[in-house]
């Protein structure tokens, strides 16, 4: 599938590759690997120095977001909407279109891609396990930034399910943070 935009992923996960527990909770994303449940103030834990591991800079560099219903339902109740000024598209077959004026609901990947293209989006943040997987399968991801916190949770939700073919990646950079989190960025090779 061709699109006039590039899709970019920024995910926090356990060392064993899970982005959430099977029940959808994210408490393991605390930088020390097991702190209190996520309070919803940031997609990744604080690095101990008040930083956000580059998430703010990443979001400031995109002009639209697309996420799945589960990710939206996790973020929707935040006291402060983290995506001010950026269009947010949600893939869902169950959410009512227009129920949240901060978002646009799409029933299918094709519908979301068409809307993003029609709006002139160039850099799109793709978030949520099933949504990332769908965009990967469609060849719409340009790069992935994966932040692995130092914990193994054994089972959970992953964005990396079955693919039609291997997706070769090129390593761009890796950095480590206090508390043991390691963040790597990969470019999808075409």
Q: Which residue is it, tokens 């994210």?
A: 26
Q: Which of 95, 105, 126, 114 is nearest to 6 (CA)?
A: 126
Kindly report the backbone phi and psi dihedral angles of residue 117, in degrees, each rounded to the nearest multiple of 5, phi listed first.
-65, -45
pLDDT tens digits along 28-39: 987 454 333 333
Q: Which of 41, 37, 15 is nearest to 26 (CA)?
A: 37
Q: Average pLDDT, stretch 153-172?
A: 94
pTM of the model: 0.87
Structure tokens at 85: 């000024």
Give the per-residue pLDDT at 40: 36
Q: Average pLDDT, stretch 165-188?
A: 96
Which CATH number does the domain 6-188 belong to among 1.10.10.60, 1.10.10.10, 1.10.620.20, 3.40.430.10? Answer: 3.40.430.10
Spatial neighbors of 69 by CB under 8 A, at least 6 apart, are 90, 91, 92, 94, 95
Q: Which residue is it, tokens 């703010």?
A: 56
pLDDT band at 4 (very low <50, low <70, confident <90, very high): confident
**Distance between CA atoms of 5 and 137, rounded to whole angstroms?**
16
pLDDT band at 3 (very low <50, low <70, confident <90, very high): confident
The domain limits of the chain are 6-188
190 pLDDT above the threshold of 70: yes
pLDDT tens digits along 58-73: 999 999 999 999 999 9
């Amino acid at each position: 599938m061709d699109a006039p935009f590039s899709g970019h992923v920024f995910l926090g996960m356990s060392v064993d590759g899970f982005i959430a527990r099977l029940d959808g909770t994210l408490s393991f994303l605390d930088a020390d690997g097991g702190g209190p449940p996520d309070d919803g103030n940031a997609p990744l834990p604080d690095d101990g120095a008040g930083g956000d591991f580059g998430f703010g800079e990443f979001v400031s560099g995109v002009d639209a977001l697309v996420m799945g219903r589960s990710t939206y339902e996790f973020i929707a109740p935040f006291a402060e909407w983290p995506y001010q000024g950026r269009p947010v598209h949600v893939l869902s077959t169950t959410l009512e279109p227009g129920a949240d004026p901060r978002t646009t609901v799409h029933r299918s990947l094709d519908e979301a891609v068409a809307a993003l293209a029609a709006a002139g989006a160039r850099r799109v943040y793709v978030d949520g396990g099933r949504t990332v997987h769908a965009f990967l399968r469609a060849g719409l991801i340009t790069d992935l930034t994966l932040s692995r916190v130092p914990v193994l949770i054994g089972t959970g939700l992953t964005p990396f399910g079955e693919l039609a073919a291997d997706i070769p990646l090129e390593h761009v950079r890796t950095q480590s943070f206090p508390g043991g989190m390691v963040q790597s960025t990969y470019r999808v090779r075409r």
